[in-house]
Structure formats: structure tokens, C-alpha cells
Amino acid sequence: MQRFRILLCAFLLSIPAAFAATPSLSPPGDSLYQTSLTLQDQQGRQFDLASMRGRPVIVSMFYTACSSACPLTIDTIEQIRHAASAQQRGVPSVLLVSLDPQHDDVVNLAAMAKAHGLDAASWRLTRSTAGDLMAFAATLGVAYRQRTNSDFSHNAVIALLDENGCIVARTSVIGKVDPAFVSAVRARSTGH
């Protein structure tokens, strides 16, 4: 009987540890996936931001009428992806979310993707169709203000999200590769 009690106690004590080791199915509280946002990409496909859960992603914001910072941000992300893949590794896909969903329709998104030679399998240029774009931008660290009908003042932020949508690296360096950010991308990349 004494042995039974010891085994029962050991079993009961192991239950909390088993549950603690089980990964949570819901994203952590600081996850961008907590932001309610429905997006439409350059191919017209609609999806919820949270559907990107399960793999790392490089994220930034832009708008198609931008003639300086946004094209430079896209070029910088491409340089980051190239530098991170130099060791024959897969690199995270890219999600760009428009600051100007009113003007950045599917046609404009597709035209920008084509102008920059962006592969739709790796790059999703998107516009929000529902949800809180301002909360998404604030969580990402992007501050923006509309100056005219199609012109925005904004900072440039490139972030790396982990599989749960938490920001694990962030850079505001554009025009050249930030080595610390590339290292973070390499660390999250998987070999292919």
C-alpha cells in the first residue's frame, strides 16, 4: 500500500510538468498575431494575419506611391534575404503591409511586385481589408502620418517574427545590410 501511495504521488506530481512542457496553441501576448487584421495580397488572395503562424517571417510596412524609403526598404530586405541565404539555407518569406489600403489595390500591389521582380512565393505585398492597421503598425514600431491624399510620412522598420508572431529582431537600417539582423534571420532559417 505504501508503494502504491508513492507511485500515485509521483504520478500526480508529474502531471503539471507534462502540461508545462506542452507548447501553447495560442500565440503569446506580445505576438503580432494578436492584432486582428485581414489582408489581401498582390494576387487577390485574402487571409488573416494569424494564418502566417508556424514559420518565421520578415515584416515591414510600405505604400506603392512612395518613391524613396519604401523602394529602398524592399531592396534592403532583398539584400538581407540574399545575405542570409549565402550558406545554402532557406530564408523566411516576406510580408509587406500597406500604409495606404485605400489606394493600394491589388493592381497597384501587383505592379510594384513586378517592378521589383518579387517572387509571389516568397513575397506578399498586402493591403488591409479589415482590422486595426494602426495597432499593427504601432506594435511593429512603425509611426506614420498621412500628409496628402497619397503621401505619408513614416519611419522604416524591418522586423523578424518568430513562428508565434513575436518580434525577435528589428532594424531601421535601410540602404545597407544590418549584420545583426542578418544573423537573426540566419538563426531562424532552416536548411534546405
- What residues does each domain of the chain span? 25-188
**Calpha distance 41→123 (Å, rounded):** 9
Which three cell numbers mark 2? 505504501
End-to-end, the C-alpha distance of the chain in Å comes to 55
Q: What are phi and psi of 12, to 5 degrees?
A: -65, -35
pLDDT of residue 158: 97
**Calpha distance 22→26 (Å, rounded):** 12
Residues whose CB is less than 8 angstroms from the CB of residue 12 and which lie 6 or more positions away in sequence, other chains included:
none
Residues making up the annotated binding site are 66, 70, 154
Quick one: which H or E segment has residue 94? strand 93-98
pLDDT of residue 190: 62
Q: What are phi and psi of 161, to 5 degrees?
A: -100, 145
Quick one: which H or E segment has residue 19? helix 2-21
Contact between 32 and 50 under an 8 Å Cβ cutoff? The reply is no
pLDDT of residue 14: 38
pLDDT of residue 188: 87
The pTM of the full predicted model, rounded to 2 decimals, is 0.82
Instruction: Of 46, 36, 177, 158, give the one whose Cα is nearest residue 109.
Output: 46
Residues making up the annotated binding site for Cu cation are 66, 70, 154
Architecture, CATH, for domain 25-188: 3-Layer(aba) Sandwich (3.40)
pLDDT of residue 102: 93
Contact between 32 and 138 under an 8 Å Cβ cutoff? The reply is no
pLDDT of residue 143: 93
The tens-digit pLDDT sequence of the chain (192 residues) is: 444 343 333 333 333 333 333 333 344 568 999 888 999 999 999 999 999 999 999 999 999 999 999 999 999 999 999 998 866 567 899 999 999 999 999 999 999 999 999 999 999 999 999 999 999 999 999 999 988 877 899 999 999 999 999 999 999 999 999 999 999 999 988 643
**Calpha distance 133→61 (Å, rounded):** 10
Amino acid sitting at position 104: D
Neighbouring C-beta atoms of residue 116, cutoff 10 Å:
14
